[in-house]
Structure 1
Amino acid sequence: MSADAGKPGTARGDDAAPAASDAAGAPAARQRVAYFGRPGTFSHEVASRRFGASAELTPRRTISEVFDAVAGGAATYGVVPIENAVGGPIYDTVDQLIRREGTGAALAVCEELSLHVTLSLLGRAGVAPKRIYSHFVPLKHCGDWLRETYPDAQILEAESTAEAVERAAQDGEACAIGNKGAAAIYKLEILVPKLGAKGENITRFFIVGKAAEPPASGGRTLLLFGLDHRPGSLVAALSALGRHHINLTRIVSRALPDSPEEYLFLVECEGSTEEPAFKEALALLEQHATGVRSLGSFRVSQKYE
């Protein structure tokens, strides 16, 4: 097993070798991983599949608390969602990355994972639901199916799919839409294993840590920068990357809290800061943007089905 085993982008929980031992032969300490949400959420599933049963997984109520756990040393890595194909960017994650930059609590992106989300209807066989709980993204994804199948049921939004399942477990006349793995945790039945919603439902996740772990080549990089308030400034900045054939994969803008007419841009692009061509692109970008900094170069791992 290499010295990098257990780091994001190297050994994976699905196929990782047994835990390494130290020089004296004692087992290595368990990896501590914080994830957003409760047991039974899709974040929990991704954390479990990525880091394996040997890791110590701890749920955190908010994305901010995941960042706090890693920044404060309570966890080595954190697992947070960054984007859903239906609901779009997860702005809580975006804001945590931006607001903590330049502070002692700043974190870097170490790896990106994605999950092909399969939504299930959980409840009690033979009980027609009067209420159906879920997070707003599954409710949006399955809205047409819900209105057609349960036109009289009240649709109620929950903080997470796991909370929705827990509320349904406590409500004898309710169902929930969520991860089928939560059924065993909250003692409900899987009524519909795969809901018939149209289109793929992919959620992407970041693994965040205290320091970046850039690949020598390939992967992606997350950049943060501001722009002068003048026409064409964004075009000029992105053209600087385009001249070096840097392909953009995500761009999100956020207004500054103390200056709502000024924006910061979070841009994900292909390539690593370890590559000479990428360094040249950054140097050119700095001529057209302000405060350019990298929030980590990272590996993009295969999608979990």
Structure 2
Amino acid sequence: MSELDDYRKEIDSIDKELIALFERRMDVAVKVGEYKKKNKLPIFNGKREEEVIEKNIKNLNNSSYGDIGRSFFENLMELSRSLQANIIQENNNIQNNLIEERSDFVIGYQGVKGSFSEEALLKHFKTCDNTKNYDEFVDVFEALKNNKIQYAILPIENSYTGAITEVYDLLVKYGFYIVGEECIKIDQHLIGIKGTDINSIQEIYSHPQGFEQSKKFLSRYQDIMLIPYHNTAISAKLISDLKDTKKVAIASKRAAQIYGLDILQENINDKKDNHTKFIIIGKELKYNNECNKISVVFSLEDKAGTLYNLLRYFAENNINMIKIESRPNKHESWKYLLYVDFEGSIENMEVKNALNLIEKNSGYFKIIGSYKASL
């Protein structure tokens, strides 16, 4: 037998002792979890865990193993928390409430009739007759806060230009929840009053997203002034009111029809497969059995490995992440909030496990939505 075989035999013997000790430790962790459940205690006790790790690191005879010894105990603690989370089955106080369908609900949106937000609203709610429109995104959030509306629909992401970051920031600021999702195709058109000559245009009005989505077309008209406005449909209404053939808007075909405008150039958006995703928000977190998508937000500490350590909980629990969006933390310089969308149900044990671990290992954590994904 070679010297290497002797070493391997010794490792096998140590592993046999380790697995027996591991099993004993997990058995005790289960008892601790049952005690915490009975006495409504939190899973994570950072001070206690740090004390345990430091005490055991001091017991090392070879201090050069200090860093890997710390990693060993951190992973061991994490496994214990995971086991206890399964016992306690914490679910962030979410109740199994069905999303009501009532005709007296008032739905808010940003823009005016003919806006893409209104189009998404009509597609999602179909029979809703009670709607209120507002000039700015923050106005919609204020209306929901003050109970002037029960739900609101807002754009969150365009397939070409990316996230609408203001909406992400307002979600956290106001503490509201995503209760639904809708996706519509976006076609931008250059529209103006009857008699407008495309070669005589001096000003184009639209939402910044309208300009961003139509860069290639607009590059042909370098001398025309681009004037950002509240919303594409509000821009169309303005052009209708001004009755000036030198001023036009970028908006939808429906907006042109509503405000009696001619389409001067169809489909000017760069990407023909152009879609915008909208979220429906409310003041409570609700779900039903059809919900298959979850959105969460949590903080990232400014130290190496934080992002990896938190995101790996999704992979380890076989969860498919759909989108990750990072935003600056408004309360702490150089720190960030991470928004993650992923497939799953609040009731799924693997989802619960992953969320419990992220919650226990991040400074700030919140589930901001459980809803049915749009097709």
Could you tell me how far 1:196 is from its partner in structure 2?
Answer: 5.9
Q: TM-score, normalised by structure 1?
A: 0.82
More strand by share: 1
1:59 paired with 2:59, answer no
1:156 paired with 2:227, answer yes
Whole-angstrom distance in 2 between the partners of 1:147 and 1:229: 41
Cα displacement string for residues 178-213 of structure 1 (whole angstroms, at most 9, x for unaligned residues): 111111332212233433633422111110012222
Could you tell me how far 1:38 is from its partner in structure 2?
Answer: 2.0
Alignment CA distance shift 1:117-1:232 (3 Å): same
Could you tell me how far 1:62 is from its partner in structure 2?
Answer: 1.6
- Note the 1:268-287 alignment, pairs <5 A: 268-287=341-360
Could you tell me how far 1:234 is from its partner in structure 2?
Answer: 0.5
Match of 1:237 in 2: 310
- Note the 1:138-287 alignment, pairs <5 A: 138-148=210-220, 150-169=221-240, 170=242, 171-195=244-268, 197-216=270-289, 219-287=292-360
**Equivalent of 2:183, from 114, 127, 143?**
114
Could you tell me how far 1:262 is from its partner in structure 2?
Answer: 1.8
Whole-angstrom distance in 2 between the partners of 1:254 and 1:277: 27
Higher relative contact order (CA 8 A, sep 6+): 1
SS at match of 1:80: strand
CA contact (8 A) 2:99 2:286 kept: no
Could you tell me how far 1:36 is from its partner in structure 2?
Answer: 1.3
SS at match of 2:327: strand
Alignment CA distance shift 1:291-1:157 (3 Å): closer
Alignment CA distance shift 1:136-1:98 (3 Å): same
1:77 paired with 2:151, answer yes
CA RMSD of aligned residues (A): 2.2
Alignment CA distance shift 1:173-1:53 (3 Å): farther
Alignment CA distance shift 1:289-1:147 (3 Å): same
- Size of the aligned set, in residue pairs, is 274
- Please tell me the residue identity of whatever aligns with 2:162: G
Could you tell which deviates more after superposition, 84-93 or 287-296? 287-296
SS at match of 1:259: coil
CA contact (8 A) 1:241 1:285 kept: no
Could you tell me how far 1:131 is from its partner in structure 2?
Answer: 1.9
Could you tell me how far 1:138 is from its partner in structure 2?
Answer: 1.9
**Equivalent of 2:171, from 88, 94, 97?**
97
SS at match of 2:374: strand
SS at match of 2:264: strand
Could you tell me how far 1:301 is from its partner in structure 2?
Answer: 2.1
Q: Indicate the percent of aligned positions where both proteins have the same amino acid.
A: 27
1:41 paired with 2:112, answer no
Whole-angstrom distance in 2 between the partners of 1:73 and 1:287: 33
**Equivalent of 2:206, from 134, 139, 143?**
134
- 5+ residue gaps, structure 1, are 8-27, 101-105
Q: TM-score, normalised by structure 2?
A: 0.68
Could you tell me how far 1:56 is from its partner in structure 2?
Answer: 0.6
Alignment CA distance shift 1:228-1:141 (3 Å): closer
Cα displacement string for residues 48-73 of structure 1 (whole angstroms, at most 9, x for unaligned residues): 22223542111012212212222322
Whole-angstrom distance in 1 between the partners of 2:100 and 2:357: 36
More helix by share: 2
Alignment CA distance shift 1:235-1:196 (3 Å): closer
Whole-angstrom distance in 2 between the partners of 1:197 and 1:31: 37
Could you tell me how far 1:5 is from its partner in structure 2?
Answer: 8.1
- Return the index of the structure with the highest Cα Rg: 2
Alignment CA distance shift 1:52-1:216 (3 Å): closer
CA contact (8 A) 2:290 2:372 kept: no
Whole-angstrom distance in 1 between the partners of 2:208 and 2:148: 30
1:293 paired with 2:366, answer yes
Whole-angstrom distance in 1 between the partners of 2:276 and 2:185: 7
Could you tell me how far 1:177 is from its partner in structure 2?
Answer: 1.0
- Please tell me the residue identity of whatever aligns with 1:250: K
Match of 1:16 in 2: none
CA contact (8 A) 2:299 2:362 kept: yes
- Please tell me the residue identity of whatever aligns with 1:214: Y
- Please tell me the residue identity of whatever aligns with 1:181: R
CA contact (8 A) 2:122 2:128 kept: no
- 5+ residue gaps, structure 2, are 1-96
Whole-angstrom distance in 1 between the partners of 2:128 and 2:350: 39
Cα displacement string for residues 80-102 of structure 1 (whole angstroms, at most 9, x for unaligned residues): 111112222111211111122xx
